[in-house]
Amino acid sequence: MHWADVAASQLAERGSKHIIATGITPSGEFHIGHIREILTGEIISRACKHIGLDVEFIFIVDSADPLRKVYPFLHQDYKHYIGHQIGNIPPPDEDGKPDVQLFETTGATYAQHFLEPFLSALQEIGVQPRIVDNLEMYRTGKFEPYAQKVCENKEIVREIIERVSGRELPEDWFPWTPLDSNGTLGNVKIIDYQHPIVTFEEADGTHGSSDISKGEGKLPWRIDWPARWCFNEITMEPFGKDHGTAGGSYDTGKEIVEFFGYSAPNPLTYEWISLKGMGAMSSSVGNTIGPMEALRLVPPEILRLLVAKTKPSKAIEFDTGMGLVTLADEYERLASRNFEDELLQTDLSRRQKVQVEDAEASMRYAVVYQGEKAKSESVSFRHLAMLAQIRESDEDVFDSLLQTGMISNVSSKLRDRLGRMRYWISSEHFPEEMHIRLQSKPTDYFFEHSNEVDINILRLMHEHFSTIPWTSTDIHSVFGLISETMNVKMKEVYRASYLLFLGAEKGPRLAPILEAWHRDSAIQLLKLAIE
């Protein structure tokens, strides 16, 4: 079974109605590592619906978390907001400075600034969860009964955390962190607790109070997490491996949630996504590629396939170069298969059957909208990449595809794919080995490296190119004919061709490139070289 189907079947044993959750702190720009978390949860919710379960998918925004430091992308003015909740501080302007005016006039916050583009990316990728704002949950009293219980039984909760995590809490530990007079979480000494008021003393000796019922503070993460499981009625939540280690926050959460009278959600631990050659992604150090950036490169179904086909326990190395080409090729191969017919074959071994079922499920979860059927595109990713470099305008690309019979009409989906392809080609991510630089005139490199044999090869090529049908098959036949006529190896024919047409000693398959180019341009270049 596909990993998502396994998770769904486990949830079916628990009941017929479920809430699946993921949650992220919008402390900086989101990256596709975050996409793995939310897609993992969304794919499981699809798997649940596939077997008839009543399921809702929610996304919890940890806007009650504090700003922990001035990140590299922020102006130093943000030092005044360290410790303040990110759902209650100004968003950064284009220079990274706190936009106080925007905050005061519209209520736009730091958390919203980073969240909104991520939600746009989710919509494009077919993910539409119900959004739960954690700061709002504190302010409307959702956390109050759980905060009250831990504050009134702090020694029980202390014992759970210390025993399970293996770490000792400070002697003055208290399970509620008040907001001080400056709006900062922490750095206060708890003096008294009479529900719902927590009284505290600040560093300068000033006394203050925090009203739990109004969310004037926050629970520590190891208590916050199980509390939200309760009032959101969460039954399944995927999370990163840092939370799933022995003695980690899931282990303490399991016991604390039982203390609250609720059962822990089914867990699913996932590995990180790293950028090829750069290690694990991190917003704070700038080692990221954002979801919107990734979606400008490739269609959303290809990103979905990356997560759907990989078991959560396996790390993903995201390669924005040839890796995307390979992934797109895999999508095309899978989309062209008829899984129903394959599964009807009686000679399949158990292993082969599992592979077919797993591939079928991966494609079911790769499509943007549940219920869609993946379709193989008539124009491959590689061919479109070639045409987008050879033909200057979109209409020239479409004309080429129409003339060769690869398409019968220009669909909106093809226009969208071409737009993403052009962006990818112009970006730093496009792989060098796929770059095509057709020359308009012979280069200095050509003159420096060509010899008399090369020129004779090009003379014959000029003769034949004027008369043959302009197809890659016929162009390739000319290369073979020249090799026989001149009694030279094919690699010499190709070398002379690459020197002239691409200004290099080697390159990608040349016949399809020349076919997509204009015959007159190829002949004119040959003429200039011979002259």
User: Could you state, in order of their start, the residue ranges of all structural domains in the chain?
Assistant: 1-63+109-161+222-376, 176-218, 381-431, 444-530
Band the pLDDT of 325: cuts 50, 70, 90: confident
The pLDDT of residue 278? 58
Lowest mean pLDDT of 149-153, 227-231, 273-277, 509-513, name the range: 273-277
CA distance linking residue 65 with residue 219, whole number of Å: 10
The pLDDT of residue 346? 86
Note the pLDDT tens digit of each residue in 73-118.
Answer: 999 999 999 999 999 999 999 999 999 999 999 999 999 999 999 9
- Tell me which residue of 183, 147, 173, 174 sits closest to 67, measured CA to CA: 183
**280: DSSP letter:** E
CA distance linking residue 491 with residue 138, whole number of Å: 71
- Biggest CA–CA distance in the chain, Å, is 99
Homologous superfamily assigned to 1-63+109-161+222-376: HUPs (3.40.50.620)
The pLDDT of residue 280? 59
Band the pLDDT of 403: cuts 50, 70, 90: confident
Mean pLDDT of the chain: 93
The burial class, CB within 10 Å (0-12 / 13-18 / 19+), for 141 is middle
Band the pLDDT of 291: cuts 50, 70, 90: confident
Band the pLDDT of 299: cuts 50, 70, 90: confident
Residue 60 in this model has a pLDDT that exceeds 80:
yes
Higher per-residue pLDDT: 288 or 301: 301
Copy the structure tokens of residue 299: 């269609």
454-460 long-range Cβ contacts below 8 angstroms, 24+ apart = 454/492, 454/495, 454/496, 454/499, 455/496, 455/529, 455/530, 456/486, 457/482, 457/486, 457/488, 457/492, 457/493, 457/496, 457/497, 458/496, 458/497, 458/500, 458/526, 458/529, 458/530, 459/530, 460/485, 460/486
DSSP per-residue letters across 402-447: HHTTS-SS--HHHHHHHHHHHHHHHSTTS-GGG-----SS--HHHH
CA distance linking residue 364 with residue 339, whole number of Å: 11
What is the sign of the dihedral through the CA atoms of 435, 438, 441 and 443? positive
The pLDDT of residue 410? 93
The pLDDT of residue 313? 94
Q: Buried (b) or exposed (e) across 242-251, using 16+ Cβ within 10 A? A: ebbeeebbbb
Q: Mean pLDDT, to the nearest integer, of 255-273?
A: 96
Residue 296 in this model has a pLDDT that exceeds 90:
no
Q: Which residues in 216-339 belong to E strands, given as ranges?
A: 217-218, 236-240, 266-270, 273-275, 279-280, 316-318
Q: Does domain 444-530 have CATH number 2.60.120.260?
A: no
Give SS3 for 397.
helix
Tell me if 512 sits within 8 A of 386, measured CB to CB. Answer: yes
CA distance linking residue 359 with residue 110, whole number of Å: 41
The pLDDT of residue 6? 97
Residue 279 in this model has a pLDDT that exceeds 60:
no
CA distance linking residue 314 with residue 150, whole number of Å: 37
Residue 287 in this model has a pLDDT that exceeds 60:
no
Residues in the chain: 531
CA distance linking residue 156 with residue 68, whole number of Å: 29
Cβ contacts of 94 within 8 Å, gap of 6 or more? none
Do the domains spanning 1-63+109-161+222-376 and 444-530 agree at the CATH topology level? no
Q: Mean pLDDT, to the nearest integer, of 37-41?
A: 95
Residue 250 in this model has a pLDDT that exceeds 70:
yes
Lowest mean pLDDT of 13-22, 230-239, 335-344, name the range: 335-344
Whether a cis peptide bond, with omega within 30° of 0, leads into 178 is no
Tell me if 16 sits within 8 A of 54, measured CB to CB. Answer: yes
Q: Mean pLDDT, to the nearest integer, of 476-502?
A: 95
Q: Mean pLDDT, to the nearest integer, of 265-271?
A: 96
Lowest mean pLDDT of 3-7, 235-239, 422-426, name the range: 422-426
What is the sign of the dihedral through the CA atoms of 496, 500, 504 and 506? negative
Q: In whole angstroms, what separates CA 194 from the centre of its chain?
A: 46
Band the pLDDT of 29: cuts 50, 70, 90: confident
Higher per-residue pLDDT: 61 or 392: 61
Band the pLDDT of 186: cuts 50, 70, 90: confident
Residue 380 in this model has a pLDDT that exceeds 90:
no
Q: Mean pLDDT, to the nearest integer, of 439-443?
A: 93
Q: Which residues in 112-160 belong to E strands, given as ranges?
A: 130-133
Residue 281 in this model has a pLDDT that exceeds 60:
no
User: Does pTM surpass 0.85?
Assistant: yes
Q: Mean pLDDT, to the nearest integer, of 12-41?
A: 93
Lowest mean pLDDT of 46-50, 231-235, 447-451, name the range: 447-451
Residue 286 in this model has a pLDDT that exceeds 60:
no
The pLDDT of residue 273? 84
Q: Mean pLDDT, to the nearest integer, of 190-195?
A: 97
Q: Mean pLDDT, to the nearest integer, of 399-409?
A: 90
